[in-house]
Chains A and B, each alone.
Chain A
């Protein structure tokens, strides 16, 4: 595997389900990010992790719970989601969280909440 990978690529879940999204980066980076892309809205940052520590929560509802066990893996745990949470969730990584670092994105997980 190379670059940034995400699983699953597609997910359909009910509002009462609990599911997790997984991201893995093979670039030797130390910072990882979750972004959300909703229909007709710009991509927006959700969370930032730097050296496994969460450094930013961009006012994300608590039904989204991130986890970063090491610098290569990032999870997004989902529970009691709403239909408006249906979106493309993208993971990214960079060398560190510095402002000038280039970010590389995974292919995304397309989530549908029914």
Chain B
């Protein structure tokens, strides 16, 4: 099946700093989503971005499908940005036709005041 690798595994920032999280995937995708998991376990949808670029406030994301990677940018980080960031994809390859999300291992972000 498709492989998803996220980097870095851990990231520590001072409030106000910018950061870039990366997601590499091993095959073509029909769906790519970025999530933020808060300390209570809730997965919050950040972006649905199988290709192209999107922005939402201090967050933006870019997926270059032909090169099989996606980037999540966080600018002017705040302590509330702390948590785990997951990239998840649905393979565009043959076989099953359903939306099975395959998750990466996540990036643990800690923002200090």
Q: List residues of chain A with CB under 8 Å of any chain B CB.
A: 31, 33, 35, 37, 42-45, 48, 50, 55-56, 58, 88, 90, 92, 94, 97-108, 110
Contact = CB atoms under 8 A, between A and B. Distances in A.
Interface in B9-29: none
B41 to A, nearest CB: 4
Given A31-B99, A42-B105, A108-B40, 9 more contacts: A37-B41, A42-B103, A42-B106, A97-B99, A99-B97, A103-B33, A103-B99, A105-B43, A105-B45
Contacts of A102: 31, 33, 45, 48
Interface of B: 4, 30-31, 33, 35, 40-43, 45, 48, 50, 86, 88, 90-92, 96-106
A90 B45 CA distance: 14
A99 B35 contact: no
Contacts of B43: 90, 105, 108
30 contacts: A31-B98, A31-B99, A42-B103, A42-B104, A43-B86, A44-B103, A48-B99, A56-B98, A88-B41, A92-B101, A98-B97, A98-B99, A99-B30, A99-B31, A99-B92, A99-B97, A99-B98, A100-B30, A100-B31, A100-B90, A100-B99, A101-B99, A102-B48, A103-B33, A104-B45, A105-B42, A105-B45, A106-B42, A108-B42, A110-B41
A71 to B, nearest CB: 15
Given A99-B30, A100-B50, A102-B31, A45 B100 contact: yes
Nearest to A89: B41
Contacts of A56: 96, 98, 100
